[in-house]
Amino acid sequence: MLVEAPQLLQALRLPAGSAVDFEPMSGRSGSVERASVSRPGAESLVVVLRAHSDPEQAENHLAVMEALTNLGFPHAPRLLAAVDGVAVESWIEGATALALVPPPGSCETAIDAIAALHELPTREGLDWGHLPEELFPDEDLPLHRLGFSAAEREPARGPLAGARAALLASPFGFAHGDATAATILLGRGQAWLTDFRAAGFGPQLFDVAGFLLTSGLESAERHALAARYAGRRGLSPDTADLVDLLGIPWGIGELLRLPRRLITAFGDDASVDTWKTAAGRIERGIRAPAGSHPVAAAIRAALWPS
């Protein structure tokens, strides 16, 4: 258990005699739990307990959740309480695109939710005060770790530098920081963002690309949803092509992090399967054009010649 029953009841100001049933929501210890509270003479209350092993991530998640709750943001759970760094959140009845085929309209609502998040008037979270170039220094990606030969890496060097330039010129502001299919709950015509451990100042189009690439969508649907985001934000129609381009460095970065994540999830078959599913979708997605940006075409021609 992430918290003891008496602590939870006290934090929620519920009767001490209430019965609490805890249920892990993943096979990994100390992650996310569902708690059902049976209250005398009232309906049961279901909440989510979310913890992070990294204290900075735990603190950031709580701070961002508090800000979103205070703003009344409708596309995220509400923060009900905090117990020793563990967030107590309202229960959301939904599932991720890693667990099911997205219900009709849910991906559109997820894109709208991401756009609404990016428009919030908040400076909560990580990295405020940093410049984009400080967050993304001019460094070569270690593509050799993904099996790319020198003959593939060298032609990609220039276009990848062009992708970095496009990234630095793209919209930066309040962003989720890890808006993938694993962290967005979908319902029929509804969507909610969860897990704000990495939220703060960052490239907002990475949120869009991350969700689209990990949701198992075909190229045409990814392009249409990126265009929907651009329309929702009042951005240029070329934004859809830019999302496709920026999805390549985002996806490469995620694939480079995969071995560390698998080690972290060692012994948790569910987590391993989740990351493998996401990795497979990312790899397929970054290879399949969902736009017509010339820099994206140059990267694909270098790394995945036909």
- Fold designation for 5-90: Phosphorylase Kinase; domain 1 (3.30.200)
b/e map 246-273, b = 16+ CB within 10 Å? bbbbbbbebbeebeeeeeebeebeebee
Tokens of 167: 């990234």
Residue 2 vs residue 272, higher pLDDT: 2
pLDDT of 264 reads: 54
The predicted model gives 100-123 an average pLDDT of 94
CB-based contacts of 125, cutoff 8 Å, min separation 6: 60, 63, 64, 174, 177, 196, 199, 200, 201
Whether the predicted pLDDT of 104 surpasses 70: yes
Q: Give the pLDDT band of residue 258 (cuts 50, 70, 90).
A: confident
CATH class of 106-303: alpha beta
Measured in whole angstroms, the distance separating CA 179 from the mean position of its chain's CA atoms is: 2
Q: Does position 60 have pLDDT exceeding 70, yes or no? A: yes
pLDDT, residue 188, reads 80
- Whether the CB-CB separation of 196 and 61 falls below 8 Å is answered with yes
Where in the chain are the domains?
5-90, 106-303
Strand, helix or coil for residue 182: coil
pLDDT of residue 257 exceeding 90, the answer is no
The side-by-side arrangement of strands in the sheet containing 45-50 is 19-24, 32-38, 45-50, 86-90, 79-83
Structure confidence at residue 84 (pLDDT): 94
Averaged pLDDT for residues 167-187: 96
* pTM of the predicted model as reported, rounded to 2 decimal places: 0.94
> Within 13 Å, how many C-alpha atoms sit on residue 79's CB side?
24
Q: What is the pLDDT of residues 1-38, one digit of tens each?
A: 899 999 999 999 999 889 999 998 864 445 899 999 99
* Beta carbons of 138 and 163 less than 8 angstroms apart: no
Q: What is the mean pLDDT of the chain?
A: 92
Element (H, E) at 239: helix 239-264
Residue 102 has pLDDT above 80, yes or no: yes
Q: Which of these ranges, 106-120, 246-260, 289-303, has the smallest mean pLDDT?
A: 246-260
Residue 13 CB-density burial (10 A; 0-12 exposed, 13-18 middle, 19+ buried): exposed
Least confident of 102-111, 246-255, 281-290: 102-111
pLDDT value at residue 268: 57
Chain-centroid distance, C-alpha 298: 27
Q: Which residues contact 183 (CB under 8 A, 6 or more apart)?
A: 96, 176, 193, 194, 195
State whether residue 32 is helix, strand or coil.
Answer: strand
Among candidates 126, 43, 34, which has minimal Cα distance to 88?
34
pLDDT at res. 29? 44
As given in the structure block, the two tokens for residue 208 are 């869009």
Phi-psi group of 195: left, alpha or beta (phi > 0 → left; psi -120 to 50 → alpha; rest → beta): left
State the first-to-last Cα distance of the chain, in angstroms, to the nearest integer: 51
> Which pLDDT tens digit goes with each residue over 284-304?
999 999 999 999 999 999 999
Confidence at 98, pLDDT banded by 50, 70, 90: confident
210 burial level (CB within 10 Å; 0-12, 13-18, 19+): buried
Give percent above pLDDT 70 in the chain: 94
Q: 95 or 265, which is more confident?
A: 95
**pLDDT at residue 261 tops 70:** no
Cβ neighbours for 240, distance < 8 A, ≥ 6 positions apart? 223, 224, 226, 227, 230, 290, 291
37-43 mean pLDDT: 84
